[in-house]
Structure 1
Amino acid sequence: MPPANDTTNYDETCPLLRTSNPHTTEAQIAEKPKPTPLPKGQLAALCVVRLVDPIAFTQVFPYVNEFMSDLHLTDDPSKIGFYSGLVESIFAISQLCSIYHWAKISDVIGRRPVIFLGIIGLTMSTLMFGLSKSLASVLLVRCLGGLFSGNIAVIHSVLGEITDSTNQMVALPIYGLTWPLGSIIGPLIGGTFSHPASKYPKILGYQFLKNYPYFLPCFIASVIAIIGVFLGFLFLEETLPSKRICKKSGSSTASTNGECAIIAPALPDKPFGVSKLLSIPIISALALSGFTLSYLATSFDVVFVLFCYSPIESGGLAFSASQIGYSLATAGAIAAAIQLCIMSYLLRTFESAKLYNFCMALWPYTFLVLPILNLIARAGSDETTGELGTATIAFLWVGIAFVLMLTKVASLAYSISMILTKENAPNAASLGQSNGIVQFAMCFARSFAPFLVSSLFAISVEYNLLGGYLWVAIMVTVSFLGTTMSRKIEQHSAKTIG
């Protein structure tokens, strides 16, 4: 960051971290900067804390349609998706209302208290979800969960504050593993432990679990969250520059490599307001494209579960909750492999903005593959029993693995968006709010995407629009529009560099 007595005017064309000074020689410029030592302890603690959210969020997916069916809200199976989409939308709407406020509060009181308060609230709401017996109670607890999950932008800001441009290519793939890892564990918990009394009567045949068949997966997710809070409290340090305390001297400090460096008395950077941040072209482009990315990714997650749950004759695959859980766990394993094996290479090899644009261009094809899977199921099902042959099942799982691989490569855009936001934030004090704006846009899309896409799926099937595949045509169209929006990021990024 520029020194306090530097009177130069800084705008959106100035990088967040200055890489040289006016007295730097040509030899020093040509020399490759030495990577800053990665704060491994801080990164590990942050990953543990981050793991809580995807586990609590995704453990619902395998059984949410079955849950809505058990509430006897409708006699028409094709309309179950309407209610499951409503459950997901209310979560995102609540998150939308809180995300920017959490980010702004964390810029004042610090990152740690906001993160821990959010996780504790998410833990309690997850536990109450398993005890819900009506649609009203389900919507209420999901609303509370969404409000407390608004701290995601704060967690992203912590990652930005413990890394810099020399080590983020190593840190980001490690941090990026938390969501796919959580999306492996969560669906496995949800698919394995829903209706435990009927699945495991000798071990878990308790009357309480018969009355509340979805309590056990929520309880397990809550226990993991409590462990995450405990470990985070012990090991996660405050990263907000104005709140850091040097353990050696007890003074406020600034550091990127873990060493204590006492800050000289100076005026801190002032955070930009929302209107000023949005006037920066690259920030507004990131928010707009983030909106599209979140809409597409959320829509796919919702429609994929609904597609797997629906009968074959209704355009689905007729999977059980356990099979849906396994498919979602497969998706998480694929995402983890991508993050671990190729993410770091991609970040080192390709420019972030171009890589982001490539990921966005994959979304149309993810939706196009789904109806092909249904056609395979239709062709391979027995006319008498409706059961699928061994070869058909094998083809289906290969197809599922392929489409999930496409979605996980496309979803790398989330991680790249974090890098682009950090690189283009006008100053360190505005990093939290910059992340808040981008995450707000993403949550806004997530607030109505589940309801919209599930309703579109139901209408397409019920009225046999385009053979029941109208939802595919619309999502592919939206995906192509999303690629045009992502190009603006590359354009503005090129202008900034120039």
Structure 2
Amino acid sequence: MDEQDPHPRLPSSLHAEHGFDDSEQTPLLKGNALPKPTRRPLPWRQLFILFWIQLAEPLTSQVIYPFINKMVRDMPITGGDEAKMGYYAGVIESLFSVTQALTVLYWSRLSDRVGRKPIILIGLLGSTLSTACFGVSTTFWGLVFSRCISGALNGNAGVIKSMMGEITDETTIAQAMALMPVIWNTGATVGPVIGGWLSNPHEQFPSLFRGPFWVTYPYALPCFVVAIYCAGTLMVTFVYLEEVAGHSKKFHKCCHKSMKLHNPASETLEVGDTSSSIPPFQPSQLPLSQVLTPQVRISIITYTLLAFLDIALRAVQPLFLTASPSFGGLGFTVPLVGTCLAAFFFASGVYQALAFAPLYAWMGPKRIYMLSMIMFVPIWILFPIMSASLGEGKAVNGATWVELALQIILYIIMDMGFSAAFIYIRASAPNAYSLGVTNGLAQTGVSIARAIGPASATSLFALSVQISRDTQIQFGPVLQWLGENLVYVIFILISFGAVMTVKRLPEKLEIPVREGAVEIDESEL
């Protein structure tokens, strides 16, 4: 007798008769293409709740950036040494991504078994408590504990992507995924605004915040505001978010009966008969070795490279804009830098919401992904060009502004890559019941990239400045230029490698249409 497949699929005849086309077939692995489905309306109510939940992550992670350096400097840990301030602040900033990388896979796998909604609620509860605690921490270790709790309990990034993949199909997934970067950019913009404007309320709004509490905890108010948002989102999620029907008992029973049709020796086997040598059907228990198919691996690698290049760019760009021309920058003021970044986030949000879905239908996912990754090359090249274009007295001129505007445009086009990456991750899952763990693995890689990206990028920037200012180092003109622009050269090379990686992705995807609940006449099985 042939060896039993531990994860059998429904026969094609059952799919044809009963509309079961979203069960265990996977878009990248299935052999028979389905007929082109009719476009269906987006489930806007559920998507709105998921976007509301997603906004909590950039708010909690970004709200601390305006005040973290001063907060750490005021603590006895630095001894008044501003050089140490940057080191300790960098540790605090990275802890969220580090702890999230260690735990996000666990939460994603657990969501495959117990459902998405309970894990999302735990994540929101963790964000609420940790953010509130961060605002009233007066010691370095208190900040460390709060930040670690925030990352460790928050696996929502992967779970939300899984849930969005389950409530959309190939006719709507591009439109839905195009909005995810918009939500992240919104939170990444609003979070620092909250952190900057609401810090030290006893000084900025003395008539409203007079008590000694606000003097003792000057950074509590922005953290409390974000914590209240997370708490409100938790209540909305508990009441209104609907669990995806992804573990239907009827579907499991149907799969067992389809096993009987293909295995005569099991004709007397009843569903749930634990005395048989065939184990109960447990599609959510795929081991990692079976989840990490070649399609999953290449999708995760490309997504991780995209996230690494993006977070490195986000770290270098404000540093380049604020650094003085003698240190390889443009010497912008902080408000002007904020205006430039806000312009990018606003323009990117509008572009993603309006342009991605039509471009996806026209170009397909791989061409969009390739175009997005290629954009990194001219983006990095423009940094030394802008520095070299400064006019008399190292002042910013018209050419510099044109180059900066071009860089922002390229950045906006690059941002489409995240929507394409989400679609590839969703489509590469070996089956519908491993979508959570697939997104968890992807988010683990991204969290690692976001933990090491900023530190590596800013360190290379500092090394480049040191080489350019060290008169004792004498190279030829070419080597000298490469040394002075080392950070850009390295990331250009990484960008070319990322483009080569995207080339290995499949040309076309087939996202199966989710049919919802279907009634199956078990007598026909």
TM class by shorter chain equals 0.7 to 0.9
Q: Matched residues in 2 for 1:377 and 1:60: separation?
A: 33
* Partner residue, 1:14: 29
Deviations, residues 283-333 of structure 1 (Å, cap 9, x unaligned):
111111122112111112222344445455433455666555444433321
* Partner residue, 1:412: 416
Q: Does 1:270 align with 2:286?
A: no
The counterpart of 2:310, out of the listed 297, 311, 314, is: 297
Q: Is the 8 A contact 2:27 2:427 kept in 1?
A: no
SS in 1 for 2:242: coil
* Partner residue, 1:51: 55
Superposition pairs for residues 460-479 of structure 1, below 5 Å?
A: 460-464=464-468, 469-479=485-495
Deviations, residues 162-189 of structure 1 (Å, cap 9, x unaligned):
0111221332223443112222322222
Q: Matched residues in 2 for 1:423 and 1:266: separation?
A: 22
What is the Cα deviation at residue 469 of structure 1?
Answer: 3.6
Q: Is the 8 A contact 2:26 2:427 kept in 1?
A: no
Superposition pairs for residues 168-183 of structure 1, below 5 Å?
A: 168-183=173-188
What is the Cα deviation at residue 401 of structure 1?
Answer: 5.1
SS in 2 for 1:242: coil
Q: Is the 8 A contact 1:68 1:80 kept in 2?
A: yes
Q: Does 1:185 align with 2:190?
A: yes
* Partner residue, 2:37: 33
Count residues with an aligned counterpart: 458
* Partner residue, 1:453: 457
Q: Matched residues in 2 for 1:200 and 1:429: separation?
A: 52
Deviations, residues 326-381 of structure 1 (Å, cap 9, x unaligned):
44433321221121121111111111122111111111232333445556678567
Instruction: Mark the runs of 5 or more structure 1 residues left unpaired by the alignment.
Output: 21-28, 244-251, 255-262, 382-387
Q: Is the 8 A contact 1:173 1:343 kept in 2?
A: yes
* Partner residue, 1:480: 496
What is the Cα deviation at residue 124 of structure 1?
Answer: 1.8
Q: Percent identity?
A: 28
Q: Matched residues in 1 for 2:489 and 2:422: separation?
A: 30
SS in 2 for 1:488: coil
Give the superposed CA RMSD.
3.6
- Comparing 201-210 with 220-229, greater Cα deviation is found at 201-210
- TM-score, normalised to structure 1's length? 0.80
Distance change >3 Å, CA 470–CA 3, structure 1 → 2: closer
Superposition pairs for residues 162-241 of structure 1, below 5 Å?
A: 162-204=167-209, 207-241=212-246
Q: Is the 8 A contact 2:175 2:356 kept in 1?
A: no
The counterpart of 1:122, out of the listed 112, 127, 132, is: 127
Q: Does 1:152 align with 2:166?
A: no
The counterpart of 1:330, out of the listed 323, 343, 366, is: 343
What is the Cα deviation at residue 97 of structure 1?
Answer: 0.4
SS in 2 for 1:177: helix
* Partner residue, 1:437: 441
Q: Is the 8 A contact 1:91 1:146 kept in 2?
A: yes
Q: Matched residues in 1 for 2:133 and 2:340: separation?
A: 26
Deviations, residues 16-38 of structure 1 (Å, cap 9, x unaligned):
9x753xxxxxxxx5xx5311232
What is the Cα deviation at residue 154 of structure 1?
Answer: 0.8
SS in 1 for 2:504: helix
- Comparing 438-447 with 81-90, greater Cα deviation is found at 81-90
Instruction: Mark the runs of 5 or more structure 2 residues left unpaired by the alignment.
Output: 1-6, 15-23, 257-280, 470-480, 512-525
Rg comparison, structure with higher value: 2
- Comparing 440-449 with 99-108, greater Cα deviation is found at 440-449
Q: Matched residues in 2 for 1:109 and 1:96: separation?
A: 21
Distance change >3 Å, CA 164–CA 376, structure 1 → 2: same
Deviations, residues 105-145 of structure 1 (Å, cap 9, x unaligned):
00111100101101110122222222333443333322221
SS in 1 for 2:291: helix
Q: Is the 8 A contact 2:174 2:423 kept in 1?
A: no
Q: Is the 8 A contact 2:67 2:196 kept in 1?
A: yes
Deviations, residues 408-447 of structure 1 (Å, cap 9, x unaligned):
3213222211111222222101111111222222122222
Letter in 2 for 1:43: L
* Partner residue, 1:247: none
Q: Is the 8 A contact 1:93 1:447 kept in 2?
A: yes
* Partner residue, 2:296: 283
* Partner residue, 1:348: 361
- TM-score, normalised to structure 2's length? 0.76
